Amino acid sequence: TMVASTTSSMFATRIAVKPRQHRATTTRAAIDPSLAPPTTRVAPRNPEGCPTVPPQDLASRPRRNRRSPTVRKAFRETILTPDNFIYPIFVHEGDDNIPIGSMPGQERLSFKNGMLKKVREARAAGVNQIVVFPKTPDNLKTPCGKEAFNPNGLAQRSISLLKDTFPDLEVYTDVALDPYNTMGHDGMVRSDGVIMNDETVYYLCKQAVSQARAGADVISPSDMMDGRVGALRQALDDEGFTNVSIMSYTAKYNSAFYGPFRDALASAPRPGSEDWKIPKDKAEYQMDPANYR
């Protein structure tokens, strides 16, 4: 009896095994969507009342390059990234940063403390080009602006410090005499109020060479004197600075929009006197806003 019972128990165990399941069927397209037959696209409908016309015989259809966001991006000519920007910094000799009243949020940066911090912030945002504007102490300003090419001047020391601290930083400089002369003009002023062109260009060349010696990568003449770009190029090349670039202000206008900039550098034209006439603005050499060229 015990044997029979054991045998029955074994048999019961065998027949309790789950029956084999059938494998689910699937399609090749479900495994690889690329094998699916193409979807039949529904033709777009014209609005009611639209005329039926033959297509124009056009060899060129510029709208092909505007048909989708992807295509428009591919053919876009102008793209702005942080690499395209140049950050302006206004530098002064003091220990603290000084707010610029006419430029909310902007400051004259301390050469000793604020300048390097601000440049680090710009670099962290992807901007690795800066242009230096020095606020020259009033006691160093002269009628001819010789401080512009002082090898130990604020601009030159700022350039050297920036290049020593950030060797890959692209440093631009401003070339003009207005931050350095007592009359607030981009050139030397004769007693009859005439801005002296060729004499000014001579000093601008000395200024540019001194900036290049300090480590400037690009000089930026903003003076609007006639013939200065060619003269600057020759002066730089003669001193071996063939790789220093020139970014010319080719269209600098006699505009009130420069007011805040002149506040930042205290470089606005000064009042004249009976003995020495000083033009009240820069219309004699900057572009007339009413003109295209």
Residue 261 has pLDDT above 80, yes or no: no
Give the C-alpha separation, 19 to 11, whole Å.
15
Give the C-alpha separation, 175 to 172, whole Å.
10
Residue 26 has pLDDT above 90, yes or no: no
State the pTM of this model: 0.76
Cα separations (Å) of 206 from 198, 200, 238, 241, 252? 13, 10, 12, 13, 22
Q: Where are the beta strands (DSSP E) in the chain?
A: 87-92, 98-99, 107-110, 129-134, 170-175, 188-189, 195-196, 218-221, 245-246
Angle at Cα 203 formed by Cα 199 and Cα 208, nearest 5°? 145
Mean pLDDT of 20-45: 70
Give the C-alpha separation, 206 to 188, whole Å.
14
Q: Is 50 exposed, middle or buried (0-12, 13-18, 19+ CB in 10 A)?
A: exposed
Residue 6 has pLDDT above 50, yes or no: no
Q: What CATH homologous superfamily does 82-265 map to? A: Aldolase class I (3.20.20.70)
Q: Amino acid identity of 253?
A: Y
Mean pLDDT of 92-119: 88
List, in sequence order, every residue forming a beta bridge with 221; answer none if it has no partner: 175
264-286 pLDDT, tens digit per residue, is: 677 677 777 778 888 888 878 88
Give the C-alpha separation, 112 to 158, whole Å.
9
Residue 14 has pLDDT above 70, yes or no: no
127-147 pLDDT, tens digit per residue, is: 999 999 999 998 999 999 999
153-192 pLDDT, tens digit per residue, is: 999 999 999 999 999 999 999 999 989 998 888 899 999 9
Question: Is 11 or 94 the better-scoring residue by pLDDT?
Answer: 94
